[in-house]
Amino acid sequence: MLFRSKNVISNGLVLDKEGNKMSKRLGNAVDPFEVIKKYGPDATRLYMVINSNPWDNLKFDIDGISEVQRKFFGTLNNAYNFFALYANIDGFTGKEELIHYDNRTFDDRWIISKLNSLILIVEEKLDSYDPTKASREINRFINDDLSNWYIRLNRKRFWKGDLTTDKLMAYQTLFECLMKISTISSPFIPFYSEKLFADLNEFNAVNSPSVHLLDFPEVDQNLISQSLERKMSYAQDISSLVHSIRKKEKIRVRQPLSKIFIPISSKEMEKEIRSVENIILSEVNVKEIEYVYDTSKLFIKKIKPNYKLLGSLYGKDMNLVASRIMNMTQEEIFKIESDGFLNISFNNNSDINLKLNQVEILFGEIEGKQVASNEKFTLALDITLTDDLIGEGIAREFINKIQNERKNSNLEVTDKIEIYIKDQVPEINKFLLFHQDFICNETQSLSLSIIETLSDSKRMDFNFDINGLQISELNFKILKK
């Protein structure tokens, strides 16, 4: 890999996926021309750069290129297709007056801050001859920040109505992200970045025939906000914990839940989390957050001895030490967790200095709630389901099924429909009619009707448990109007 024609990075060996040297005799050699023919030069190049430093030996696994195609190129291509689809529908030209960053939404300013932070990191890594970390940062930004967070949380801004000021700033923000990604990724994926740049340049962005003739983007330090990035990282971390509980308890995201309980250590932290509270609640489909300062009643902790380590330290006295640990108070557990050690005494007037790594601290069970934690947060999620929550969950699940049917029927985004449901499950009918306006608005439907006889209907898999009543399917039909 050549940088500015002055320095050369020498490549290490390309080994097979087990770390053995490739040879025809062993039958583990890979034909590079066949690999490039099948997967393309960009995917092959990026896989090799992103998986190990070029000067290190690479364990070459052909499945890794497929993963790069899916996670990097697939995600980036989907982001562009999303932008292009709605930009063309709304007549976005790229010539509109640029809306100042100060007037954009919280989400817009956050992703622009992350974009500039990314450009800064990538430039630093490339200047220090570290293409692996640079490419990994680009990959992380595309997947975690741009696609899985910004676009997903803001997609409704692109869907609704005419080209309003809010929608225009969303287009301008996403367009800037994609254009600068095409530029900073061009050393790694020269062919795809050229195609992406050319497609984006149809919106009259840059007077250049090629992405490779552009200067590297300049970082605008005024657009980098550590406060914005920290607040959104809180939203991402809390959302991740809630999703982990949902996955563990097998509660689908479309099923709304009532409350998240978050222990808070300061008013400042509460203020910062409150600034992204609506983002969190929307992302995890929960109704409210309760900020908890006194955790003693809600978050009961349990402590377990690390028997393997204690046995090597205390030998025959290990059972005595373990018994004392198992009977520690909540105050003692909190102290060893906060200080990293605790002096504990025994009835024989002896004492020891117990270290945090000699125990394991867990959260006890809370009726109707589940607890999860990471490096920053511990929280509890109320997983109790009321009839109102179940009804909304059914409506959201129904919306998802109808949206899939629209897609399968090759309907355009702007096409209006009518929905017909066979009258077969009164409990479902009640919930769907209660949420009729919400369903019609989300599915571009003019009406939702429940009728006794429905010809040419389709079967919808609909797995719900309503107070012990198992609902497995629903017959429906949609008609384009």
Which tens digits make up the pLDDT trace of 156-206? Answer: 899 877 889 999 999 999 999 999 999 999 999 999 999 999 999 988 767
Contact indicator for 433, 450 with CB cutoff of 8 Å: yes
CA angle at 265 for the pair 260 and 266, rounded to the nearest 5°: 105
CA angle at 138 for the pair 200 and 73, rounded to the nearest 5°: 60
Contact indicator for 421, 432 with CB cutoff of 8 Å: yes
Work out the average pLDDT over 385-402. 92
Q: Quick check: 366 pLDDT over 90? A: no
Report how far Cα 359 is from the mean position of its chain's Cα atoms. Answer: 33
Tokens 């290190």 correspond to 56
pLDDT of residue 162: 83
Most confident of 212-221, 322-331, 343-352: 212-221
Q: Quick check: 290 pLDDT over 90? A: yes
In this prediction, residue 12 has a pLDDT band, given cuts at 50, 70 and 90, of confident
Contact indicator for 457, 441 with CB cutoff of 8 Å: no
Token couple for 61 = 């696994």
In this prediction, residue 11 has a pLDDT band, given cuts at 50, 70 and 90, of confident
Work out the average pLDDT over 366-394. 88
Token couple for 344 = 């504990």
Most confident of 28-32, 160-164, 169-173, 348-352: 169-173
- The whole-angstrom separation of Cα 367 and Cα 191 is 56
In this structure, of 89-93, 219-223, 284-288, the range with the lowest mean pLDDT score is 89-93
In this prediction, residue 278 has a pLDDT band, given cuts at 50, 70 and 90, of very high
Work out the average pLDDT over 345-369. 80
Contact indicator for 177, 111 with CB cutoff of 8 Å: yes
Give the whole-number percent of the chain exceeding pLDDT 70.
95
Q: Quick check: 136 pLDDT over 90? A: yes
pLDDT of residue 6: 65
Q: Quick check: 436 pLDDT over 90? A: yes
In this structure, of 169-173, 197-201, 304-308, 433-437, the range with the lowest mean pLDDT score is 304-308
What is the distance between the terminal CA atoms of the chain, rounded to a whole angstrom? 57
Give the whole-number percent of the chain exceeding pLDDT 90.
57
Q: What digits encode the pLDDT tens for the residues 77-133?
A: 999 999 999 999 999 998 899 999 999 999 999 999 999 999 999 999 999 989 999
- The whole-angstrom separation of Cα 188 and Cα 196 is 13
Work out the average pLDDT over 463-470. 70
Tokens 């801050």 correspond to 113
Q: Quick check: 1 pLDDT over 70? A: no
Q: Quick check: 246 pLDDT over 90? A: yes
Instruction: For residue 458, list its beta bridge partners.
Output: 476
- 3-class DSSP assignment, residue 251: coil
- 3-class DSSP assignment, residue 163: coil
Q: Quick check: 138 pLDDT over 90? A: yes
In this prediction, residue 473 has a pLDDT band, given cuts at 50, 70 and 90, of confident
Work out the average pLDDT over 383-403. 92
Mean confidence (pLDDT) of the chain: 89
In this prediction, residue 405 has a pLDDT band, given cuts at 50, 70 and 90, of very high
Token couple for 32 = 């590079």
- The whole-angstrom separation of Cα 357 and Cα 349 is 24
- The whole-angstrom separation of Cα 118 and Cα 128 is 15
Helix ranges restricted to H, 146-223: 152-159, 165-184, 190-200
Q: What is the pTM of this model?
A: 0.80
Residue 449: name the closest of 421, 416, 480, 417 by CA.
421
- The whole-angstrom separation of Cα 169 and Cα 108 is 8
Token couple for 110 = 């956050």
Instruction: For residue 453, list its beta bridge partners.
Output: none
Number of residues assigned to the chain: 481
Work out the average pLDDT over 250-256. 93
In this prediction, residue 467 has a pLDDT band, given cuts at 50, 70 and 90, of low
Tokens 């389901």 correspond to 385
**Residue 135 vs residues 9, 142, 188, 218, 422: alpha-carbon distances, Å:** 16, 11, 7, 18, 53
In this prediction, residue 5 has a pLDDT band, given cuts at 50, 70 and 90, of low
Q: Quick check: 2 pLDDT over 50? A: no
**Which residues, in sequence order, are CB contacts of 258 under 8 Å at separation 6+?**
286, 287, 288, 382, 384, 386, 389
